Chain A
Amino acid sequence: MLFYLIRRIIYAIPIALAVGFVCFMLVQIAPGDPINAIVPADAPGDVVEQVRRDYGLDKPLPVQFGIWLSKVVQGDLGRSLATGRSVWSDLSGAIQNTLMLAVAASLIGFTLGCVLGGLAGTFRGSFIDRAAVSVAVAGVSVPHYWLGMVLVVIFSVQLNWLPAMGAGPGGSGDWAWDWEHVKHLVLPAVTLAVIPMGIVTRTVRGIIAEIMNQEFVTALRGKGLTRGGIFLHVVKNAAPNALAVMGLQLGYLMGGSILVETVFSWPGTGLLLNNAIFQRDLPVLQGTILVLAMFFVALNLAVDLVQTALDPRIKRA
C-alpha cells in the first residue's frame, strides 16, 4: 500500500508539469495579450513595451515558463498581473469558498442521488422508478446556469426569501455558520447539486438493479433474510462503484462551476478562473489550474484507497 501511495504521488509530478505547460501554451496561443491586464487599451506603444519589460513578458516563452516553474517548486505561485496580489492569497480564499459550495452541493446531490437511485433500482419498472429516472434525466439535462437564474427569479426577486448573490452579508471573509450566512449558500448549492444528483441517481439505479438480479440476492431472500438485511448486502456491494462516481463528481465540483459562481457572484475558483481568462491573467490561471489539477489527482487517489478499504477484492499492486 505504501509503495502504491508513493508511486501515485510520483505520477502526479508529470501531470503537474503537463497541466502547467498546456495551460501556459493555451494562453499564449489564444488571441489577446496578457499586458491588457496591466495597461489600458489606449496606452501608447512605448508605455506598453516598458511595462512588458517590467513584468518579464518580453522574454522568450520557454524562459517565462522556466521562471514560473522555478518559483512554483519553491512554493511561490507568483503575483496576479491584474491586481498585484499574491496568487496564493486569492486562490486559498477561493478554494475555501468553492470547497464549502462543493461540499454543500455534494451533500444535497449525493444524498438525493443515492435515495432516488436506490428506490429506482429496488422498484425497477414501477412508478417510483420512472419518476426517479425522470428527475435524473432532468438533472443532467437542464443547463444549471439557467436553473440558477430561474431560482434567483423565484426565491430572491419574487419571494425575497433568499439572497441572489454573494457569500454572506459581509462577504466570505467573516463567514459564520448561522442562517444569515448559510442562506447565501442555498441557491448556488442547490443549482450546483442538480447535475451530480442526476448522475448519481442513474449510476446507483443501474448498480442496484444489477445487484438485485444477482443470484446471491435470491439466495439471501430464500434464506428468509428481511428486506432490510438484503438491502444492507446490496449497499455494501454497490458502494465501491458508486463511491468512484461520487469521487469524480466531487472533483468536478471542486473545479468550481464558472457559470454557477458567475451567476451567483460566488467568490470561488470558478469566478477566479473566469476573471483570469478574460484578463489573460496568466499567473492566476496557471496557479489555479495547477492547484485544482493536483486536488483532482489527490481526490482520485483518496477514492481509490477508500474503494480498496471497502472492497478487499480490489487489489492495488
Chain B
Amino acid sequence: MRLRRFLMTACLAALPLVAAAPAAQAQGTIRIGMTAADIPLTNGQPDQGFEGNRFTGIPLFDSLTMWDLSSADRPSTVIPGLATEWRVDPNDRTRWIFTLRRGVRFHDGSEFNADAVVWNVRKVLDREAPHFDPRQVGVTATRMPTLRRAEKIDDYTVALITSEPDSLLPINLTNLFMASPAQWDRHRAASPNAEAAWGAFAREPSGTGPFRVTRFVPRERLEMARFDGYWGEKARAERIVLLPIPEANARTAALLSNQVDWIEAPSPDAMPQLRQRGMVITSNAQPHVWPWQPCFVGDSPLRDVRVRRALNLAIDREAMRTLLGGMMAIPVGTVPRGHPWFGNPSFNIRTDKAEARRLLAEAGYGPNRPLTLRVQISASGSGQMQPLSMNEFLQQDLKEVGVNVEFDVIEWNALFTNWRNGCQHASARGAHATNVSFAAMDPFFAMVRFWDSKMAPPVSNNWGHFNDPRFDAMIAEARNAFEPAERDAALARLHAAGVDEALFIWIAHDVAPRAMSPRIRGYVQPQSWFVDLRLPYIQ
C-alpha cells in the first residue's frame, strides 16, 4: 500500500514536467509540415516537383513572370514579376524582349539587372559557362523546352531566344528562378569547383523573393525570415519554418499536437478529427489531373473513341468524391469549365451509365464479349492522391457497365520511368492505360506533351503514341499565336478537340487539401499548385 502511494505521488509530481506546454513560438512564425521527404533544393531551381517551387522556389526567388496567387475565385494567370512587360520581336518571332523591374535587390544586397538574367539562363543552358550546373538542367530545361539563350540589350532589357516561335515562353518562364550571381561568386571564391560552390550557395542562398533563408538543417528544417527589402508587398509573417514530414499520419499528429501550424495533404481519414479539433481544412480547384492515359496503338481497345467516351461516362465521380471525403473536383476535361482554355467541346463528360453501355455495345462489347482493360497503377506516390482506393473504386464502378479492369500495381518510381517509355515498351507489360497524375499549369504540360505526335517516347510523355495531324496543326497554331487572347482561343480549340476525342479518361482533379491551425489568418488558397506565403500570418 505504501509503495502504491509512493508511486502515485511520484507520478503526480512528475506530471507538470511531462505536461509542460510546448515552447512559446515567436509571434508570426508559421511552421509548415510538407509532404516532401527532404527540404526541396534551395539553389534556385527546387526539386520535389511543384511542392519544391511552392516552398523553396517562389518564397525565396522570383522569376521574370509570376503566377497571380492573390485570388481563390479565378484561375491563376501569369502576371509581371521581375519583368514588367514583354513582347515578341515582330521581325523575329523567336526573339522575346523583356523589360526588367528597376530597383530590385537580392538578399545579399547586389542589384538585379540584365546581367543577372543572362547569368541565370546560362546556368542551365550554356555548358561552357563557369557556373553551369547540370543538377539544375533537369528541372529547368524540361519546363522551358524551346528557350536557347539570353542576350543583354541594356541594363534593364534582355532578349530571350527560342528555337522556334513559341508563344508559351512567358508562361514557361515562371519556372526559371533568378539566383544571385554575386552570392554565387562569393561562394565560388571559397570553393574548389563550381559544383561545390552551388552546394555552398544552397546552404546560403540569395534570391529576390519575399523571404530569405536564415537556417538550413539538411533533411530536417528550413527557416526563412521576412525580407524587408522586398520590391513588392512585404510578407506578413515574420518567419516560416518548413519541416519535411512525408508520412500523412505523422503530419496530422504534428498539427494536432501543436508542433506545426499547417500541413499539406492530410489524409481523408483524418479530416473529421481535424475538424473536430478546430483545425481549418482548405481546398480549391487545382490544375492537377488524375486520369487514366490511354494507349492508342497495337491491340488496345482504347483506340476506339467510343470505348474512351464510354469509360468517361461510366464513372460515378460523385461517389468517388464521397469516398475521398469531398477532397476532389469533378473534371469535365483537363481544365475546368470557365477556364480560358476550356473551349466548347461537344462531348459532355458526366455520369451516364446507359449511354456508356450503348457506346460499348456499338463498339462490339457486351455480356458475350466483355471488355477487359489492363491499367498500370502505383500504390502511392507524390501527387497520386489515394491511388489504390480510387482505382479499386473504378474497378467496381466499371464492372457495372461490363468492363473488367485488371491492375498492374508497380512502385511509383517504376511507373514514372515507364511513363517515358511508352505503351509499346516492354515495361508497359501490355497495359492499355497508365495512371500518372500530372500538373496542368501551362499548355505544354497540360496538353502539348500528350497530344503532339512529336512528343511520343522517348521525347516526352505521349505515352499512348497518340498521332493525329489535326492535333499537331492545332498545337503549331497555338505556339504561333502571340496575342494572349488569340493564343488562348487556339488552346481552347485544342482542348475542346481533346475532350471530344476523349483523349484521357478524366477521373478526378485534386483540390490540394491543407489543414491549418485556426490561428493562421490571411491565407488565400488560389486555383494553383502554389500559394503566396506573403499573405498568411499567425494571429
Contacts and interface: CB of A to CB of B under 8 A. Distances in A.
A50 B134 CA distance: 9
A300 B85 CA distance: 68
A232 B308 CA distance: 79
B476 interface: no
Interface in B137-153: 137-139, 141-142, 145
A42 B461 contact: yes
Interface size range on A against B: 35 or more
A40 B45 CA distance: 12
A41 B420 contact: yes
Contacts of A96: none
A152 B247 CA distance: 13
Contact of A47 (B18, B138, B195, B244): B138
A45 B458 contact: yes
Interface in A258-315: 262-265, 267, 271-272, 274-275, 278-280
A42 B460 contact: yes
A160 B258 contact: yes
Size bin of chain B's contact surface: 35 or more
Given A41-B436, A164-B250, A165-B254, A267 B459 contact: no
A38 interface: yes
Contacts of A163: 22, 257, 259
Interface stretch (B347-355, B406-414, B481-489): B406-414
B340 interface: no
Contacts of A115: none
B63 to A, nearest CB: 17
A252 interface: no
Contact of B253 (A79, A164, A180, A183): A164
Contacts of B412: 278
A26 interface: no
Contacts of B436: 41
Nearest to B20: A179
A54 B198 CA distance: 16
B410 A44 contact: no
Given A42-B461, A163-B259, A173-B217, A84 B253 contact: no
Contacts of B536: none
B10 to A, nearest CB: 16
B28 interface: no
Interface in B439-496: 445, 449, 457-461
A63 B291 CA distance: 40
Interface in A128-156: 149, 152-153, 156
A95 B220 CA distance: 14
Contacts of A90: 218-219
B17 interface: yes
Interface string A72-88: 00000001001111000
A50 B458 CA distance: 13
A94 to B, nearest CB: 8
A164 to B, nearest CB: 4
Nearest to B138: A39
Given A164-B259, A278-B412, A263 B19 contact: no
B38 A164 contact: no
A43 interface: yes
B393 interface: no
Given A50-B137, A161-B18, A278-B412, A89 B218 contact: yes
A298 B252 CA distance: 39
Interface stretch (A7-15, A28-36, A195-203, A209-217): A28-36
A160 B277 CA distance: 13
B230 interface: no
A25 B414 CA distance: 16
B291 to A, nearest CB: 14
B176 interface: no
A265 B414 contact: no
Contacts, number: 178
Contact of B413 (A44, A50, A279): A279
B459 A45 contact: yes
Contacts of A41: 416-417, 419-420, 436, 461
Interface string A187-207: 000000000000000000000
Contacts of A274: 37
Interface string B417-430: 11110000001000
B41 interface: yes
A264 B195 CA distance: 33
A32 B420 CA distance: 11
A156 B18 contact: no
A156 B257 contact: yes
B254 A162 contact: no
B135 interface: yes
Contacts of A94: 219
Nearest to A264: B250
A172 interface: yes
Contacts of B414: 30-32
A172 B217 CA distance: 8
B301 interface: no
Contacts of A275: 37-38, 246
Interface of A: 30-33, 36, 38-51, 54-55, 79, 82-85, 89-90, 93-94, 149, 152-153, 156-157, 159-167, 169-173, 179-180, 183, 262-265, 267, 271-272, 274-275, 278-280
17 contacts: A39-B142, A41-B417, A42-B438, A44-B141, A49-B458, A50-B134, A54-B137, A83-B47, A84-B43, A84-B135, A84-B195, A84-B198, A160-B22, A163-B22, A164-B259, A173-B220, A262-B250
